[in-house]
A and B are shown apart, each in its own frame.
Chain A
């Protein structure tokens, strides 16, 4: 049954849609090299890098912005 007016009462329910299946390349972050500048955290369109620099691969679309913006090249894009 469609909600009245097609309103959605569960906030953030796009979390049910795992966009990780979209990607061709996947970022691998080397925490040893990481200087915790927060670039990748701020610039990820999905917001799927948390403050501990763990990447949520359920949602990562593999756009490569994080790898591109990392000032110390701690992120490499690999197939998968």
Chain B
């Protein structure tokens, strides 16, 4: 696997100390290399990297709006193709710009089969605007629009399963990943690059500001998500599904939940319910 030593995302950007998104983008770009054109949706990543007159991107980059990263990327891909340029187009969008407002454009782009990689950096809420819930906010999380209170325990719906929706579109390469498992992620980015046609990677990314933990624990949290079975690393290659990482011994979800402020309000009963849900899914995936 050729991993570039070069950084394609310059420092000096405005990310929070301990930001997971920039870790994800740095790793992805190391796997993709210089011949890459990036497209961003509005969100944390876009805002922290391009405050005029500065940009953190060392590769060509375009941003238009919140819900159309996939549509813009479609146009970029075709334009490059029509000019005989072979740069790899990669779209970066958050969970909001993917699962909610961005779903239509994503569906259209994937259905049309453009040769592009779409990476959703999933921090499980609309983080850039101050932690409002998205379709990817997990069950039980407290966000500013799904806050816990006397009458509510927070987000009461499960996480929308975008990777499976992508698989149902027949996308030839679909994968889940985590910034805390960099080799697994970068290998998947490489596979995405080598795929003829669209590729989708759903990258789990802990957010210190939104989830409520010390910035130094960003990678640790991502690891706990996977080790507790709360986030599963898999890939689907031409419809062929396999798990790419199985924890040697699955930890209890409490280790993951209690490490974050957004879950601290949950009662033991509610946490048990979450454990039960995780157990069911993990049994199915043999984790």
A–B contact (CB under 8 angstroms) = yes
Which A residues are closer than 8 A to B by beta carbons?
A: 2-3, 6, 8, 10-19, 22-23, 42-48, 51, 56, 58-59, 61-65, 67-69, 77
**Are the C-beta atoms of B17 and A47 separated by less than 8 Å?**
no
**Are the C-beta atoms of B17 and A6 separated by less than 8 Å?**
no
**Are the C-beta atoms of A59 and B219 separated by less than 8 Å?**
no
**Are the C-beta atoms of A56 and B11 separated by less than 8 Å?**
yes
**Are the C-beta atoms of B52 and A12 separated by less than 8 Å?**
no
| B109 in the interface (beta carbon within 8 A) | no
Residues of A within 8 A of B54 (CB): 8, 13-14, 16-17
**Are the C-beta atoms of B219 and A62 separated by less than 8 Å?**
no
Q: How far is the CB of B177 from chain A (nearest CB, A)?
A: 14
* Among candidates A12, A42, A59, A68, residue contacting B182 with C-beta atoms closer than 8 Å: A42
How far, in whole Å, are A44 and B24 apart by their CA atoms in the complex? 10
How far, in whole Å, are A54 and B52 apart by their CA atoms in the complex? 29
**Are the C-beta atoms of B219 and A12 separated by less than 8 Å?**
no
**Are the C-beta atoms of A68 and B53 separated by less than 8 Å?**
no
Q: What are 19 inter-chain pairs, A to B, with CB distance below 8 A?
A: A6-B52, A10-B55, A12-B57, A13-B10, A13-B54, A17-B12, A19-B11, A19-B12, A19-B14, A42-B26, A42-B182, A43-B218, A45-B17, A45-B22, A45-B218, A47-B22, A61-B17, A61-B18, A64-B214
Residues of A within 8 A of B52 (CB): 2-3, 6, 8
Task: Give 8 closest A-B pairs by Cβ, nearest first.
Answer: A64-B216, A14-B12, A12-B10, A59-B11, A63-B18, A61-B17, A63-B17, A46-B11
* Among candidates B10, B27, B55, B214, residue contacting A42 with C-beta atoms closer than 8 Å: B27
Residues of A within 8 A of B261 (CB): none
| B20 in the interface (beta carbon within 8 A) | yes
The CB with the most chain B CB atoms within 10 A, among A10, A12, A56, A58, is that of A12
What's the interface size class on B, roughly?
35 or more
Residues of A within 8 A of B15 (CB): 45-46
Q: How far is the CB of A10 from chain B (nearest CB, A)?
A: 7
Residues of A within 8 A of B20 (CB): 45
Residues of A within 8 A of B218 (CB): 43, 45, 63, 65
The CB with the most chain A CB atoms within 10 A, among B10, B14, B54, B217, is that of B10
Which B residues are closer than 8 A to A by beta carbons?
A: 5, 7, 9-15, 17-20, 22-23, 26-27, 49-59, 179, 182, 208, 214-220
Beta-carbon nearest neighbor of A22 in chain B: B17
Q: How far is the CB of A58 from chain B (nearest CB, A)?
A: 8
Residues of B within 8 A of A64 (CB): 18, 214-216
Known: A10-B55, A23-B17, A62-B17. A68 touches B217 (CB 8 A): yes
How far, in whole Å, are A58 and B52 apart by their CA atoms in the complex? 20
Known: A10-B55, A42-B182, A51-B5. A65 touches B18 (CB 8 A): yes
Residues of B within 8 A of A16 (CB): 12, 54
